[in-house]
């Protein structure tokens, strides 16, 4: 029989569930390493800068909304102000225009942030969402400030009786409109990171555990009474099998010769 590959008092060095050898420790930069305080401050600064830059672009969204949103026509008869077209959809069109522009701005801001910072991060995504929300609020205020005046009575008196004038630009579904930008930005950034974002390399556990496991493997390889250095456990067994094979072959050849001589007779018969 051959000797066991690993002595019973030593663990198997190739067991993935075995405890790490005493004295081994993780290599620096492994999965257990945490970011330093300087790295955290840098991430927070990047998130704050992202929020500010995205929020500033809300001014452009407000200008586009003011330019593209349909106007609600009003008319006055010196006693009251009425809708010129009571069945018109201009008021709903203003909300729809704002939501579509906000979705487009959310997609563009997510692409820009992803191209500038491919690794992403929680602070970057939070800054993108907060910037989108602030940008939507800024766009809403810019559109209402630069649009037609909100004093409808004064505007009707200025226009005169029977003259059509524009109603103030308003958002009726404020909650859904201002949330369109941050939601679209986060979803777009998530998809971009999932498809084209960098992948973390697979950890090299042998490097993390150090060289402590290799010593056990070397000490267990040369054990056994019949082992020869560099040849493994089977050398003693192979030597014994070779000797037995030689003796068996000699005895077999001798017995075969005796049987042959007995059959023919000795001395051989003359015909």
Residue with the two structure tokens 């390889």: 221
pLDDT exceeds cutoff 70 at 4:
no
The values of phi and psi at residue 232, to 5°, are: 95, -170
Lookup result for tokens 């050849």: 253
Q: What would the pLDDT profile of 107-159 be if each residue is shown by its tens digit? A: 999 999 999 988 878 999 999 999 999 999 999 999 999 999 888 888 888 88
Q: What is the pLDDT of residue 271?
A: 47
Q: For position 252, what pLDDT does the model report?
A: 38
Q: Closest Cα partner for 81 from 10, 5, 160, 140?
A: 160
pLDDT of residue 68: 95
- Mean pLDDT estimate for the chain: 75
pLDDT in tens, 64-97: 999 999 998 988 887 888 888 877 788 899 999 9
Which pLDDT value is given to residue 5? 57
Task: Read off the pTM.
Answer: 0.61
The pLDDT of residue 235 is 40
- Among 39-43, 135-139, 219-223, the range of highest mean pLDDT: 135-139
Provide the 3-class DSSP secondary structure of residue 11.
coil
**Average pLDDT over every residue of 43-59:** 95
More confident residue, 266 or 120: 120
Query: Rounded distance, CA 80 to CA 27, Å?
Result: 80
Reference 46, options 133, 128, 137; nearest CA is: 128
Tell me if 186 sits within 8 A of 125, measured CB to CB: yes
pLDDT for 191 beyond 50: yes
Report the half-sphere exposure of 119 (CA within 13 A, side-chain side): 6
Residue 2 pLDDT grade (very low, low, confident, very high; cuts 50, 70, 90) = low
The predicted structure's pLDDT at residue 27 = 54
| Rounded Cα gap, residues 69 and 54, in angstroms | 22
pLDDT at 269 over 70: no
Q: Say what the pLDDT of residue 99 is.
A: 96
What's the pLDDT at 69?
94
């Amino acid at each position: 029989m051959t000797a066991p590959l690993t002595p019973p008092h030593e663990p198997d060095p190739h067991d993935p569930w075995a405890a790490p050898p005493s004295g081994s420790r993780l290599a620096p930069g492994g999965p257990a390493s945490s970011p330093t305080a300087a790295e955290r401050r840098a991430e927070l600064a990047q998130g704050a800068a992202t929020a500010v830059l995205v929020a500033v672009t809300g001014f452009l969204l407000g200008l586009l909304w003011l330019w593209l949103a349909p106007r609600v026509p009003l008319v006055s008869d010196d006693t009251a102000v009425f809708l010129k077209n009571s069945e018109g959809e201009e008021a709903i069109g203003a909300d729809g225009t704002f939501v579509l522009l906000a979705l487009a701005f959310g997609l563009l801001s997510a692409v820009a942030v992803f191209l500038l910072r491919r690794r992403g991060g929680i602070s970057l995504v939070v800054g993108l969402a907060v910037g989108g929300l602030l940008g939507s609020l800024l766009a809403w205020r810019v559109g209402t400030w630069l649009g037609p005046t909100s004093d409808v009575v004064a505007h009707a008196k200025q226009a005169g009786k029977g003259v059509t004038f524009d109603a103030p630009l308003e958002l009726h579904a404020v909650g859904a409109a201002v949330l369109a930008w941050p939601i679209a930005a986060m979803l777009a950034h998530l998809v971009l990171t999932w498809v084209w974002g960098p992948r973390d390399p697979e950890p090299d556990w042998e490097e993390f555990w150090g060289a402590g496991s290799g010593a056990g493997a070397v000490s267990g390889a040369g054990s056994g009474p019949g082992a020869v250095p560099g040849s493994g456990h089977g050398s003693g067994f192979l030597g014994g099998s070779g000797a037995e094979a030689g003796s068996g072959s000699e005895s077999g050849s001798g017995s075969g010769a005796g049987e042959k001589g007995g059959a023919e007779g000795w001395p051989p018969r003359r015909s």
